[in-house]
Amino acid sequence: MTKRVALAFSGGLDTTVCVSLLKEEYGYDEVVGVTVDVGQPESEFEEAKETADAHGLDIHVVDAKDEFAELCFDSVRANATYQGYPLGTALARPIIANAILDVAEEEDCDAIAHGCTGKGNDQLRFEAVWRTSDLTVIAPVREMGLTREWEKQYADEKNLPVQSGNDGVWSIDTNLWSRSIEGGQLEDPSYVPPEDIYEWTDDPAEANEPALVEISFENGYPVAVDGEEMDPADLIEHLNDLAGKFGVGRTDMMEDRMLGLKVRENYEHPAATVLLTAHEGLEQLVLTKEERDFKTQVDDQWSQKGYEGLVDAPLVKALEGFIDETQTKVTGKVTVKLQGGQCRPVARESDYSVYSEEVASFNTETVGDITQEDATGVAKYHGFQGRLANDVAAGVEKPELAADGSGADESEE
């Protein structure tokens, strides 16, 4: 009986060596390669095909770009970031994992495999999806304790054309929403990255005239740029190109992974930066303080589950119930200014605004039928408990209250 395994195949170093290892070390007769399109550049598919041909491997290419774009827009509604950067790779992994699982089941595979190491997050994100099935999960790099240096030597011995970004110096992962660069000298936190690690963003120091860009939202979803309506994937690609010219969307950070390791990561995410900035600017206009305060907690929880690759968890569905309710008012337009690597909102408008220029203006005397003098009582009470606590701590004697509560001592009358 033929033993068949489906492999998450990108054509990069890790997955390339896994093809041979699954046959030589694990005894599988056939490896079914699966490449999932979540917005990678065309060159990556060409490289994957070149590597697959060298192996004699037929690969399935699954188009999940639109599905991924929709999840990215869900993340905008949740203001989803992890330790300060927009989620990209993390959101793509469940989409990729589900697509590979579908192929594995269609091809009657006995097992499903990935090329993740035992130190990263992606092993957890893939397997959270795959372990819902009865297929055996295999992780050759993790299980055999492989290093990048060993893999490079192995690929050379097998004469495999491995592409891994900058001739293998960096490990690069690209999708519609973000581009990550790691490995090599970047693992040293004191190393200053060269400008050539970036592809999506120009040097922010380059002189560019500032640009104003208008983003339109309906129910929290981005729908148009400068009045032109676009599908999610097209809108993201347009903003990646536009904002990238101003150096918008670079992150160089020390990131805390799920396994407890701290790692150095570099990211590019121009469109994500613009859309998250604009969305939050619109929420500031249309949501009450109580909604904004509570939604911060909801967004943090959504972001954490998104980082873990658990976007289908029951908690996420519950969180999205609250998000859906708040987003019914997040309809309007936000103008952002792009300049020198920065993106900031400079104007916003919505029919659901809870802001009143007349009420807030210093040039108007009253707030409806409320006069300025009405604030005097509030001002007296504000901070009263704290003042009382400080007096008690300092040993200040509390005043005696008269029977009528006036504060006068009856014996002194």
Active site residues: 14, 93, 122, 171
8 has binding-site annotation = yes
Residue with structure tokens 């032109």? Answer: 228
273 has binding-site annotation = no
Distance CA 90, CA 340 (A): 28
Which stretch of DSSP H or E encloses residue 222?
strand 221-225
Residue with structure tokens 């009986």? Answer: 1
Residue 310 DSSP SS3: coil
11 has binding-site annotation = yes
Residue 211 DSSP SS3: strand
15 has binding-site annotation = yes
Which of these, 275, 214, 225, lies nearest to 74 by C-alpha position? 275
255 has binding-site annotation = yes
180 has binding-site annotation = yes
355 has binding-site annotation = no
Q: Tell me the residue type at 333.
A: K
Six-digit token string for 99: 């697509």
81 has binding-site annotation = no
9 has binding-site annotation = yes
Distance CA 64, CA 62 (A): 6
Six-digit token string for 82: 């992890």
Which of these, 221, 96, 234, lies nearest to 176 by C-alpha position? 234
13 has binding-site annotation = yes
26 has binding-site annotation = no
Distance CA 267, CA 233 (A): 19
Six-digit token string for 283: 């929420």
171 has binding-site annotation = yes
Tell me the binding residues for L-citrulline. 85, 121, 125, 171, 180, 255, 267
Tell me the binding residues for ATP. 8-16, 115
Tell me the binding residues for L-aspartate. 117, 121-122
Tell me the binding residues. 8-16, 85, 115, 117, 121-122, 125, 171, 180, 255, 267
